[in-house]
Chain A
C-alpha cells in the first residue's frame, strides 16, 4: 500500500497546513449553510489540498463524494454528479440515509478542476458556474493547482484559500512520524535530504521515503540517493529567475513550463517594465523584439526549430542584459494583452447582437444598421429623457446587458422604467391580431414578463425557461432564434 494513502490524515488536526488556512477552512465549514460560496483550494501539488478536504469531512462526519483526476471524467459526468449530488439528500456508502436537516451533509470534492479537458466541451466551465449560481444545498469544494486557469467568474463565485509550498521542517516532521509508525530508525539528515529534494511537495517526499526506506529497520544518509525531482515550475518562478538572477539555466526551466513561447513572451513583455528601467529596459525590449521576429518566422514558415532561438532570447537574452537586478519583491502581472483580446471579442459580439436587433426591427441589413442607425440609436438612448429612451429600448427589445454596453450606467434606470411601466415590443402579428379578436390581453402580459425576465437572465432555471418557451407556439421572441 502506498504510504501516501496509508498516512493520509484522518482528522483535521493531523493535516499539515498553516494555522490561518486551517482556521479559514474550519470556519467555512462551521458556518456552512445552503447557498454559501463553495471553497476553492488552490496551491501547488502535494501540499495537502485534497487531504485537507477529506479530513474536514471526516472531522465533521460528512459524507464525501470525490471526483478526482483518476476517474474517467468529463464535464458531462461532473455536471451530473455535482448537479444531482448537490441538490439531493445523501445515501452513504454504507447505505445509510443522511439527512441534511440533522447536519449530515455531503461534501462534494472536485479535484483538479483546472485540469479537466476544456477542449471537449467549452461550455463546461460555464455549466459549473451555472450550477454554483443555483446555490447548491450541499457543501462543495473545488481544488485547483493553478486557479488562474479558471475563469474569473468561477473564481469570484468561490472562497479561495491559497496553499503555499511546505517548508523543509514541516516535511521532515511528517517523515519522522511515518518512520516511527513504520518502526524505522531514521537519520535526521537523511530525512532532511529527502525533504529538500521534494521542493515543498509532501506527497513527493513521502513517495521518495517509501522508495528508499520500505522494509528497512534503519535509514542512513547514504541510502538516500533519490534522483533530483524535476520540481514543477510555474511561470512566476521563471519570471523571477529571468529578472532577478543571471543564471542561464532558466532556459531549461522555461522549457519545462506548460506554456508555448508565444505565451511566455507576453508574460515577459508585460512584466519587463516592472523590473528594468532606463537603458536596461531599452536593451531588453530590443532583445525581446528579436525574439518576436523569430516567433513571426515560425508562424509564417511553420518551421518550429526557430522557437529555440526565440525562447533563448526571451529568457536568457532578457536576463543577461541587466546591470543590477532590482531588489525586493515584485508582483508579476498577467499579460494584459489577453484580457484586451477577450474584451474586444466580447464587445464585437455584443455589437453584433445589437445590430441584429436594430436590423430586424428597423427592416434593414446589419451593415446598414451599423452605418445609419447604430450611432443614432445610441445617441437617442443617451440623450433623451427616460420615458422616450425606455420606449426605444423596448422597441428594439434590448436586454439589460446590451443597454449597459450602449449607454453604461443609465441602463439600470431605463430597465427599471421598462419594468415598472410594462413596456414591451408589440410584434406585427400580435398587433394585427388585435384587430381580429380581443382575446389577447393574456399574451401581452406574458410578453411583459418576458422583458422583465430577459433583463436578468441569471441562473440555470431562467435559461431553461427561455429554452422551453422557444418551442412554444405563441412566442414573439424572434431574437432567440438567431
Chain B
C-alpha cells in the first residue's frame, strides 16, 4: 500500500519532467523517496527524477513498490491543481492510482510495469566541465536560440560558458564569464545539441531554480535541475548531435 501527500507543485514538476520524454513511466516508491527514470522513444535523451522522502508532507509505504503510470494523463490532471494545494497519491490495490486534491478524487488505471519500456541504468559519464547557473537564464538562452536554429553548441573554456546558435543568416551567442556564473570549474568542453529537447527540458524550471550542467566534448550533457526549492531533483541526459563534416 502506498499513501503519500505532497504539494501540487511537486506533482506538477515530476510529471512535467517525465512527459517531456515519455508518456508512460515506472514510478518507484522507495524507502528514500520517489524515483523514476526513462529513455525517450528516439533513444536520444534520458530523464531521472528524484523526490526525497523529506520533500513529502506524508510518506507512508509498506514496502518498496513500483507502479506503471500513464504520465500524460496524470500531468493533464495536475495542471488543474494549484501549486500550494496538497495532493494525496495512493495505491490501494494493484490496479488503480488515486489522486485526491481539494474535493476532487481522480482515479486512473495503472499500467503493468512490465509492459513499459525497459528501464535504463544510469550511465557513468566522465564530463570535464561543470557549470552552475540560474535555470531562468538558461531558459532564456535556449528560447532565443530556438528562434534561429534547431541546434546549439555548448562550449566551456577558461573564459566562461557559451551557448551558440547559428542560423543561415544570423547567429546568437550567450556568454557568461566565471564571475557571472554561480559555480564554474573552467573545464574545456564543446558539444552540439538539439534545441527541441532542451526546450522541453526547460519547461520544468523557472528563474530561481538551480541548474548544474556537466559538459563533455561530443559527449552527452547532464542537466541537473533543483526544483521546487530543492525539494525535487530532475536530471536530463541528452546525447549530442552528430555534426556533419
Contact = CB atoms under 8 A, between A and B. Distances in A.
Interface string A80-115: 111011011111111111011100001000000000
A205 interface: no
A69 B168 CA distance: 37
Contacts of B220: 89, 91, 97
B20 interface: no
B42 interface: yes
B123 A65 contact: no
Interface string B167-202: 111000000000000000000000001101100000
A90 B44 contact: yes
Given A34-B244, A88-B239, A465 B42 contact: no
A93 B196 contact: no
A63 interface: yes
B41 interface: yes
Interface string B210-222: 0000000011100
B123 A87 contact: no
Contacts, number: 92
A264 interface: no
Nearest to A73: B41
A82 B46 CA distance: 17
Nearest to A65: B43
B242 interface: yes
Contacts of B39: 91-93, 95
Contact of A88 (B122, B125, B242): B242
A128 to B, nearest CB: 15
A90 B42 CA distance: 8
B42 A80 contact: yes
Interface stretch (B27-35, B100-108, B113-121, B134-142): B113-121
B98 interface: no
Contacts of A93: 39, 43, 117-118, 120
B218 A101 contact: yes
Given A97-B220, A101-B218, A88 B117 contact: no
18 contacts: A67-B41, A80-B196, A85-B41, A88-B242, A89-B240, A90-B43, A90-B44, A91-B44, A91-B46, A91-B239, A92-B43, A93-B117, A94-B120, A97-B220, A135-B244, A137-B241, A138-B242, A465-B169
Which 8 A-B residue pairings sit nearest by Cβ, starting from the closest?
A95-B120, A85-B42, A137-B242, A89-B239, A95-B121, A81-B42, A88-B44, A84-B42
Interface of A: 34, 63, 65, 67, 80-82, 84-85, 87-97, 99-101, 106, 135, 137-138, 461, 465, 468
Given A81-B41, A84-B44, A88-B194, 17 more contacts: A65-B41, A65-B42, A80-B42, A87-B242, A88-B193, A89-B240, A89-B242, A90-B239, A91-B120, A93-B43, A96-B121, A97-B219, A97-B239, A137-B242, A137-B244, A465-B167, A465-B169
